[in-house]
Structure 1
Amino acid sequence: MSDRSELSGWLSERPGLTAVAAASATLGLLIVLPYLQYVLLGLILAYILVPAQRRLERYVGAMIAALTLVVVAVLAIILPLAYVLAIAFREALEIVTAVEEGSLSVDAIESRLEETGYAVDLVELSQTYQEPIAGGLQGVVTRGMELVTGLPNVLIGLTVTLFVLFALLRDREALVTWFERVLPMDDDIQRELHTELNQLMWASVVGNVVVAGIQAVLLGVGLALLGVPAVIFLTVATFVLALLPLVGAFGVWVPVALYLVAIDQPLVALTLVVYGSLVSASDTYLRPALIGRTSAFNSAIVVVGIFGGIVVFGAVGLFIGPVVLGGAKITLDVFARERANAIGLEAEETAADPAVDTAPGTGVESETTATDRDEDGTETGDDPGTTSGGGGTRETDSDRGPKSTERASGDHDEG
């Protein structure tokens, strides 16, 4: 409580400096916000490449190591990812065009299923979910078109990402020290939050993404070997769905198997069902091995974090959304614990304050307090100046002497 009051007093004594600091932080945040998703992308890449940076720094300087890893990130991560997404977008457009032209209509699929002996009313099912499905496909196409038309803005954002990545790799220790100095928190709380957030970052950015990537590649290879069209699009869709707990690769290979049955390829569909089941079952072993257990990374936080992160941060929200939501839970848990400890400490200090145990209006300690102290042995009732009365031992006023009178007078003054 004293530290908090001292901080409040320090801020009130320096209103100008406090206002300038708050205004500067606000303006800085407003400048970062337009490219926040690219800054977060640089943060994610830096988190992944920091171990390699430490190893390279043993042989070359920090700047050379950072530049090398930036080039590696461009050639091995950003460019291949952009190429794969471009192909997936083109295949998605082909699927949408086929649906609009009728070559991939629901009626045709339903008639094929009836020929094979499966009576499924896909028309009613499609009418039920037509609006959300159409909205989702239209949203994918719209975002893709916005990405293409806004290519200059994307290039600027990627430039911001590369500079953020370079700065975080080269000056990571100085930045961590700066944050520790600026954040108004105790060192032990900072260390605890750093440990918890590091585990959460590993679970979301590394563990969850690696699991989704492994499942997407495995299913994509199987689809390619079976001759299924739009393999790249289905692989990307598998990766996105594999990030979601309880969904995973099921969301891709089950509809594809139904499609194969509809086009009179039951053996291929059966093969896909068996292979897809094995890919989905791998989630049971891969996820616990790579992610482990953390209380801030449960299914609800992952699902809400992914969808909410996409809305707030864009595509990078797939990875950073669960981290932000789980980090909020961790921070609130620490805050609640520290607040409860502070309230408990304040209550103990209040209970130990002698002024609380004095008689009202006199400032002299009450008989109950004196009796408790006698029972503790601090002042025994065996002294000659005490008399017995009632159920306890009581010291008379006449026997207290000058020192007791002075103490009573001092207590009264304090009261």
Structure 2
Amino acid sequence: MKLEHHKAHQAHGRMERRSFMMLLIVVSLLFLYLLKPFFSPVFWACVITILFYPLYQYLLKHWQRPNLAALTTLVVCILVGVGPTLFLLSSLVKESGELYQLIQSGQINPGEYLDKIRTGFPRVNSLLDRFGIDLSLVKEMLTKSAGTVSRWAASNTLTIGQNMLQFVVSLALMLYLLFFLLRDGPDLISLLIRALPLGDEREALLFKKFAEVTRATVKGNLVVAIIQGSLGGLIFFLLGIKGAVFWGVVMVILSLIPVVGASLIWGPVAIYLFAVGSWEKGLILTLFGAIIIGLVDNLLRPLLVGRDTKLPDYMVLLSTLGGFAIFGMNGFVIGPLVAVLFIAFWQIFILDFNTLPSERDEPDEFLE
């Protein structure tokens, strides 16, 4: 009788634990679903916390006042990041409107640019014919694309104005979260390590990799993108190319993509300059783009991104492109982060489950 009662008690305990775990998962998923509309503010609050946490630690060490240190760090974040970003956005909106007017008035016509390239490089026609490319179709596609881009620019210019309140609310929410993440970050990490059922050492290692990759990816990609976009906008301005600020911002965005990046903008412009006979400007732009802008990508990106993440270049490229495709602008951080966590999980699995005990004393270089 006692044995049967003991078995019934164990069965009831198992059922209670399973029911609790099921409800825990449901409630957690529901909570994450509630946070879905605020994914970007929450995500960037976490990213900026990781970037500026060393500054907070430095201030806290000297002042011994967590609230004041967090508030001061928050002000520095606003001055360093938010202010310049708002300036670039306002400049982008202004020049987008100007380019829209030029396209609508016919002063900018991609079809005419293509005709000038055909005239400047007659051999292009035979080369394209050899590959079965119909230039008339390309011209028509470019004209339609210009109309689509102009309408997109106009509509998004209006949308930015209409959604300014939403942007301000998201920005305020991000800064609000940033303050508390700076002040209470270590306590939250300790709580997560205690709650997650992965083993404290594994969890601490994964959080460490998360912070390292986030810091390296954001600093590396953003530094490279800002430098390349600034250099591209500067050379466009010096050469008298219209919309230098607009194209500079576009090059900043495209420079987040490894390998190709800003060349998608300055390359076609250089070809056009050669085609219309501006050989001097075309040569200057080509040399400046290939040597100066390209050198920034080839030297700084591996040092700032690949070295700290310990990801090969092809993995950085694929994960960044995949991140852009799935998560949009947030993807240049999320993509490499997912790739590194993927490798980290498999390395932990190999070391803990598929390695002989004598081999576990040698830590994997990636996980050090």
Q: TM-score band (shorter)?
A: 0.7 to 0.9
1:27 maps to amino acid:
L
Contact 1:248 1:280 in 2 (8 A): no
- Cα distance in 1 for partners of 2:216, 2:325 equals 17
In the TM superposition, residue 161 of structure 1 has moved relative to its aligned partner by: 0.2
3-state SS of paired residue (1:59): helix
Q: For the pair shown, which has the larger CA radius of gyration, 1 or 2?
A: 1
Contact 1:200 1:323 in 2 (8 A): yes
In the TM superposition, residue 261 of structure 1 has moved relative to its aligned partner by: 3.8
Counterpart mapping for 1:347-386 below 5 A: none
- Cα distance in 1 for partners of 2:342, 2:145 equals 31
Q: 1:229 to 1:131 in 2, by over 3 A?
A: closer
3-state SS of paired residue (2:140): helix
- Cα distance in 2 for partners of 1:242, 1:190 equals 33
TM-score (norm. length: structure 2): 0.79
Contact 1:110 1:262 in 2 (8 A): no
1:304-342 Cα shifts (integer Å, max 9, x gaps):
1122210xxxx4x14333145325523652575378549
Tell me which of 243, 250, 273 is aligned to 1:230. Answer: 243
- Cα distance in 1 for partners of 2:36, 2:277 equals 52
Range moving further from structure 2, 102-111 or 25-34: 102-111
TM-score (norm. length: structure 1): 0.71
Counterpart mapping for 1:378-397 below 5 A: none
In the TM superposition, residue 64 of structure 1 has moved relative to its aligned partner by: 0.7
Q: Unpaired runs of 5+ in structure 2?
A: 1-10, 126-134, 358-368
- Cα distance in 2 for partners of 1:9, 1:224 equals 75
Tell me which of 301, 312, 337 is aligned to 2:319. Answer: 301
In the TM superposition, residue 130 of structure 1 has moved relative to its aligned partner by: 5.7
- Cα distance in 2 for partners of 1:14, 1:114 equals 73
Is 1:265 the counterpart of 2:281? The answer is no
3-state SS of paired residue (1:58): helix
Map of 1:147 onto structure 2: 160
1:351-385 Cα shifts (integer Å, max 9, x gaps):
xxxxxxxxxxxxxxxxxxxxxxxxxxxxxxxxxxx
- Cα distance in 2 for partners of 1:140, 1:333 equals 44
Tell me which of 173, 177, 182 is aligned to 1:160. Answer: 173
- Cα distance in 2 for partners of 1:336, 1:174 equals 27
Q: 1:9 to 1:231 in 2, by over 3 A?
A: farther
Tell me which of 249, 254, 265 is aligned to 2:262. Answer: 249
Q: 1:136 to 1:338 in 2, by over 3 A?
A: farther
- Cα distance in 2 for partners of 1:248, 1:331 equals 28
Tell me which of 27, 39, 44 is aligned to 1:24. Answer: 27
3-state SS of paired residue (2:302): helix
Contact 2:230 2:248 in 1 (8 A): yes
1:8-57 Cα shifts (integer Å, max 9, x gaps):
99763345644553343233212211111111121121121111111111
In the TM superposition, residue 275 of structure 1 has moved relative to its aligned partner by: 0.8
Map of 2:295 onto structure 1: 281
Q: Unpaired runs of 5+ in structure 1?
A: 1-7, 346-415
Counterpart mapping for 1:81-230 below 5 A: 81-113=85-117, 116=120, 123-128=136-141, 138-139=151-152, 141-230=154-243
3-state SS of paired residue (2:61): coil
In the TM superposition, residue 228 of structure 1 has moved relative to its aligned partner by: 1.8
Contact 1:11 1:18 in 2 (8 A): no
- Cα distance in 1 for partners of 2:46, 2:153 equals 26
In the alignment of these two chains, the number of paired residues is 332
Map of 1:3 onto structure 2: none
Map of 2:83 onto structure 1: 79
Range moving further from structure 2, 79-88 or 20-29: 20-29
Percent identity between matched residues is 24
Contact 1:216 1:249 in 2 (8 A): yes
Map of 2:306 onto structure 1: 292
Bigger proportion of residues as helix: 2
- Cα distance in 1 for partners of 2:86, 2:323 equals 24
- Cα distance in 1 for partners of 2:192, 2:316 equals 28
Map of 1:65 onto structure 2: 69
- Cα distance in 1 for partners of 2:276, 2:85 equals 32
Range moving further from structure 2, 16-25 or 244-253: 16-25
2:57 maps to amino acid:
R
Contact 2:194 2:200 in 1 (8 A): no
In the TM superposition, residue 221 of structure 1 has moved relative to its aligned partner by: 1.9
